[in-house]
Amino acid sequence: MKKRFLLYSAVLLTAVITFRCQKEIPNQPKQNQLPTTRLWLQSDQTLLESSSRQHLYWYGEDPDGKVIGYLLTVVPMRLPNLRLPVPDTLTYFWTTKSDSIMPLPLLQARDSFTIVIRAVDNTFNPGSLTEGSPVRMAMYPELQTSADPKGAVQLFPLRNTPPIVYFIGDPASPDSTVPILPPAYTFPAATFSWRATDLDGDNTIAGFRIALNDTSTSSRWLSLSPSTTNITIFVPRSVSDAATGEVDAEVYTGTYPSMQFRGKVPGLRLDNFNRLYLQALDVAGEYSRPVRIPDSLSPLSNRTWFVKKPQSKMLFVLDYGATTTSEKNAVTPFYRRIFSDNTILNGTLTNFDSLDIAIYKPYFLNPTLIKTLQLFDVVVWATNKFPSIVPAQIGLFNYTQSGGKVIFTTTFATALSYADLHALNDFAPLDSTSSDAVNPGNNPPTNVDSRISVMNGSVKTKVYSMVSGYPDLTVDSVQVTGSATSAHTLNMRKIYKRTDSQYIYRLDSSRSASPRYLGSPTVACIDNNKTFLVFALPLHILNGNPRNLPLFFKHVIEDEFGIH
């Protein structure tokens, strides 16, 4: 009996072990376990109402494999019960990253967005999917068995952040935050440039608005498009000539010759100090803090912007560089004495307007300088042997293209570069000049001279007219500063006109035993359209006969240019 019990026990034990082995070692493979997803914010942010620019972090876990990517989407609403819709019709974007700075598209002052992130495990083959590829669940049925079925779902209540606008910093300033300021004085033509940004995304900037001096009412502001980054304020002579006090200013965007009119802004003060105000507007309807230029809070708080009302038909441009010298100080008064002669437009040019080109930095050349020149019928541009080639090239070329008239009086540097000569071709009726090197002794003589003697033998040195109507001019024995001299130090070069121009003056041929230059070099020409006259000598050294220099200007301005 005892033996039979032991036998039954052994059989039963064997059956139990066999059964257990069949349960623990199944014949079918174990099913894939889906991953889970976690989402969190940067540590200094909370889920209280916050800005629309969020730095998000997420990660996924897969108990029987690995996470190879994520499905990410932003829903511009609150999902019911903060759960995925059934069926899931959301459009996701594929990513392998685990964090992102996300600017949410906030289009009003307050809104809510739901962010959904679903981890995807390695049972899914992404195939041709790349970073940012759109994904819909219906497009990839296998995602049903490889993506987190719940996902990380988070609601974000947001508030709009106003934009920020600022005037462009001056790269020439030690402090790059100091904005590019207009010159201390301008005529009613000035350009301003700015940049704007928005924490909610720069694409949420909906526009800008500007005002002059007074921001008290909405009618004082002019609205501009969101693509605007610069404007030029301009008042034509047809408005300013009859105006006193404040005037409406035309506003243009872009640069010459493709400038576009955008409207008018009131409040520009002629012969007075001015200030421009600027604001940016976002799609939620909020304005930035207004900024102004000049700004009394800036490091250059003592800077001002004074707008001069044009008084004359003529603008005198002094081009002697930024360094003050006795000659530079004397040039403008000299020309005022010449133009006080009643034979030139009946004396109406006595109080001509003047401009020191040194105040115009490169970023004010187009369009500020061009629009400034266009305020005048004629420009007299006087320079020493270092003319400002780039301002002249940009300003005078475009000025004459719009009908302006120019008298350009200059001399040349000791070595004239090809680039400078090429620039001269752009705006003056010159083909070239003599390329001879300047030799102080001019021995042997060439087409170049380092000085012009007052006397040529026993008579005064002349500059002879080559065309009827132009008076002969005489080299003066007095410098522009008032000091007596026997020779004027400069670099004379023979000029060669363009084919569409004519010579009008040549220098007296040397009669001395050791001539300083060859023959009678041509030194002045005018284009056939009578718009641009270039004199390759400073006109202020040619007043040896005090009557003839005024007659020269009278003939050019009235007879050649047709200004009355």
CATH number at residue 438: 3.40.50
Record the pTM.
0.78
Read off the pLDDT of residues 99-136 as tens digits, 9 standing for 90 and up. 988 777 667 777 788 899 999 999 999 999 999 999 99
**Range of 209's domain?**
164-307
Nearest Cα to Cα of residue 288 among 300, 297, 278: 278
Q: What is the CATH number of the domain that holds 71?
A: 2.60.40.10
- Cα separation, 255 vs 364, whole angstroms: 10
Shared domain for 301 and 318, answered yes or no, is: no
DSSP class per residue in 455-517 = EETTEE-EEEESSTTPPPEE--SB-TTS-B-SEEEEEEE-EEE-TTEEEEEEEPPP-SSS-SB
Nearest Cα to Cα of residue 376 among 307, 308, 314: 314
Compute, in degrees rounded to 10, the torsion defined by CA atoms 354, 319, 381, 313: -10
Q: Which of 307, 322, 344 is the last residue of a domain?
A: 307
Q: How many CB atoms lie within 10 A of CB 503?
A: 15
pLDDT at residue 48, as a whole number: 46
Q: Which of 307, 335, 365 is the last residue of a domain?
A: 307
Residue 267 included in any domain: yes
Shared domain for 238 and 329, answered yes or no, is: no
Shared domain for 328 and 458, answered yes or no, is: yes
Residue 24 included in any domain: no
CB 265 within 8 A of CB 251: yes
- Cα separation, 148 vs 246, whole angstroms: 68
Nearest Cα to Cα of residue 489 among 516, 513, 460: 516
Helix (H/G/I), strand (E/B), else coil: 282: strand
The single-letter DSSP state of residue 345 is: G
CB 200 within 8 A of CB 207: no
Residue 14 included in any domain: no
What the block records as the tokens of 414 is: 């000791």
Number of domains in the chain: 3
User: How many residues appear in the chain?
Assistant: 564
Q: Which of 246, 279, 307 is the last residue of a domain?
A: 307
Shared domain for 372 and 355, answered yes or no, is: yes
Q: How many CB atoms lie within 10 A of CB 429?
A: 23
Residues of the chain with pLDDT under 50: 1-25, 42-48, 297-300
The β-bridge relationship of strands 246-253 and 230-234 is antiparallel
pLDDT at residue 296, as a whole number: 58
